[in-house]
Every structure is written in C-alpha cells, then in structure tokens.
Amino acid sequence: MDAAVLRDDMVDSLTHESKGCLHSDTLSVAMRAVPRHEFVDDDHNAYADRAFEHMGTRVLAPSTVARLLEALDTDEGHSVLVVGAGVGYTAAVLAEIAGQRDVQAIDITRRLVYEARQNLARAGYEGVLVDCRDGADGFPEYAPYDRILVEAAAVRPPRALLDQLSRDGQLVMPLGAHQQTIAVVDRDGDAERLGSCAFDPMLVEGEQADTIERNRTRREDREFAERDARRRKGWELDWIDWDSEPQMR
C-alpha cells in the first residue's frame, strides 16, 4: 500500500475518539507530511501504533509522539531542542512545524546520533542539527529555547535544561520513577501534570547502549581506586627480601 495512504490512516486513527491523542490541525498536518518509513526500517512497524526496541532505544509509538507534541504546543519559528533524538522521527515532525533550522536534537548514544542524521537527511530534513551530548546538560550553544522536549523520564527536570528555556519557554517530559506523568514545566520549575505514561529513564554517561559492558558500579570503581592508592608498592613491602639472590634451578 502507498506510504501516504498509510500515513493518513495512522493520523486518522490518532484523531479518532477511540484514541483522542491528536487534536491540533498543525500537528496533524505535520504527522501526515513526515515519511515515518524513512525512520523505521520495518514496513510492518512504520505506521503501526506500537513502540519497539531498536539499537538499545525505544522507538515511541505514534500515539505517544502525538501526546508529547500536543503538550509541547510548538509553533512556527519556535526554537526547539529534542533531548533523546532516537531515530529522529520526533525531530522531523517538529521541523515540519517550527522549521528545520530552528530544531536541534541531542542523544547520548553516538551510533543513534549517526542514524538519526542519516534518517533525517534521507527524509528531507538535513537542516536539523543532531549532536552527541549528555541530555541532562542540554545544548547551551543554541539556547535559549522556546520549547524543550525530553523523551526520557526523570524524577525532576535537569536544572541545566530549565536554565536554557526562554523567558516564556516550556519543557515537556515524563516526570516520576515508578509512576510517571507527562508534565509541562516552566522556567521556574513549576509543572502541570497531564496523563500517566511509561518511559525509560534518562541515561547518564556510561549507560548508553554502545558502552562496553561493565561488571562494576561507579561507586565500586572509586572504592577500588582508593584501596589501590593505599596499597603499598613493591619497594615498600616488608616481606620482599631485596638483598637475596634468586635461586637458580
């Protein structure tokens, strides 16, 4: 079936009262325009309303994308930062609304950054800047932002992200640990909580999917380092008889 027809069917299902997660005409037009199959290398999943795992990240279901972007309330000319670029689809939808040059995206996983860049370029959104950054630090070089979208959960919004909002800017992200809600947060940290949700937690350096697997925690690393620093070296050890000659056999 033609991809444009599948996109229309997908958006129609999101606007239907049975889901009721897509309301604004602006967002509806944008989601109809973005070729999602360029971001999801699976014809079965490209326009299905389901989430799935890809390269260590969760590709959000279209209905979840719609909920986030409805809460974000982006308009043309807004400066937008996407934290958690993933495969690049959400950034592309925002680029349709705000304009490519006004959308930046970051991800902590380098190989996802490369994939998002390729996907965006193939879909016609090469003007969107994607960089490898720790999401909690944001992208201060392009601040302030009118809108910041975080596609990962945290107990509270990172202070650095709030500081990068414009005076009337707002940040949208899932807040909470076991029980999460989509929240709209202003520069002062005041949050309006919307419906419940379930997102993966925001990663920190060392936790991304392309990091070499570790068998010790960072706390254990510090303890091992401190123990090693206190350990006496060979020339300090009492039990070594440095004057004795080795026995030859």
Contact status, residue 179 vs residue 193, Cβ threshold 8 Å:
no
Radius of gyration of the chain (CA): 24
Q: Is the pTM of this model over 0.75?
A: yes
The pLDDT score that the predictor gives to residue 20 is 85
Q: Does the residue 185 lie in any domain?
A: yes
Distance (Å) of CA 210 to CA 110, 155, 176, 193: 8, 25, 26, 33
Does 42 reside within a domain? yes
**Residue 230 domain-assigned (yes or no):** no
What's the pLDDT band for 155 if we cut at 50, 70, 90?
Answer: very high
Task: Give the CATH number for residue 167.
Answer: 3.40.50.150
Rounded CA separation 191/184 (Å) = 5
Please report which helix (H) or strand (E) contains residue 62, including its range: helix 62-72
Where residue 212 falls among pLDDT bands split at 50, 70, 90?
very low
* pLDDT-derived band at 86, boundaries 50, 70, 90: very high
Averaged pLDDT of the chain: 87
Range picked from 49-58, 178-187, 221-230 for highest mean pLDDT:
178-187
CA distance 109 to 43: 25
At a CB cut-off of 8 Å and minimum separation 6, what does 18 contact? none
Total residues found in the chain within this entry: 249
Q: Is residue 47 part of a domain?
A: yes
Higher-confidence residue: 106 or 214?
Answer: 106
Instruction: Please give the pLDDT value at position 130.
Output: 98
57 within some domain: yes
Q: What is the pLDDT of residue 209?
A: 52
On whether residue 203 sits in a domain, the answer given is: no
Q: List the domain range (segments joined by +) for residue 178.
A: 3-197
The verdict on residue 241 lying in a domain is no
Q: Pick the closest to residue 41 from 14, 59, 66 (CA basis).
A: 59
Overall number of domains in the chain: 1
With bands split at pLDDT 50, 70 and 90, how would you rate the model's confidence at 222? Answer: low
Residue 77 lies in a domain: yes
**Among 64, 30, 48, CA closest to 152:** 64
**What are the pLDDT digits (tens) for 87-105?**
999 999 999 999 999 999 9
Indicate if the pLDDT at residue 242 is higher than 50: no
